Amino acid sequence: MLRIVTIAASLALLLSACSASNTTTEPRKEISYLRGPYNAAFFRRHGESEAYSAGFHFHHGKEHDVTLLTPPADRARMDDEFDQQVYSFVKNKKSKVGPTMELYGPYVARVAWKLYRVIDWTHMHHEQTYDIMASPRVA
């Protein structure tokens, strides 16, 4: 009984300390890149290239979690397995659009979600650049 009272009191103290502090959670609802019809232009005009690009996004998103969550003794084996996963993802075009970094790297995204937003925007920027450079009007 004393243990339950102690746990309840500790929990109440913790909750009151959290609610009374000046700390807040950081919202994740802001837009990471400008919205516009041009964002999907690469997908619409160069769908197959976008599907290959999605494989590279998969690799880039997941590699951070794989590296951090794999014990050093298992890294050689995991590298081989991960290489095969990436190869399969690209070869079989498992996604038609580039996924967000957080989708495949949720562990690292807990602390580096702003970095992941920057990388997602950079991927979008690259796709916009590829779309422009592939235009016959640029040649």
**Distance between CA 11 and CA 9 in Å, rounded?**
5
Structural domain spans, the chain: 28-133
Task: Check if the beta carbon of residue 54 is closer than 8 Å to that of residue 93.
Answer: yes
Q: Which tens digit of pLDDT belongs to each residue from 50-109?
A: 888 888 889 989 999 999 999 999 999 999 999 999 999 999 888 888 788 888 999 999
pTM of the full structure: 0.68
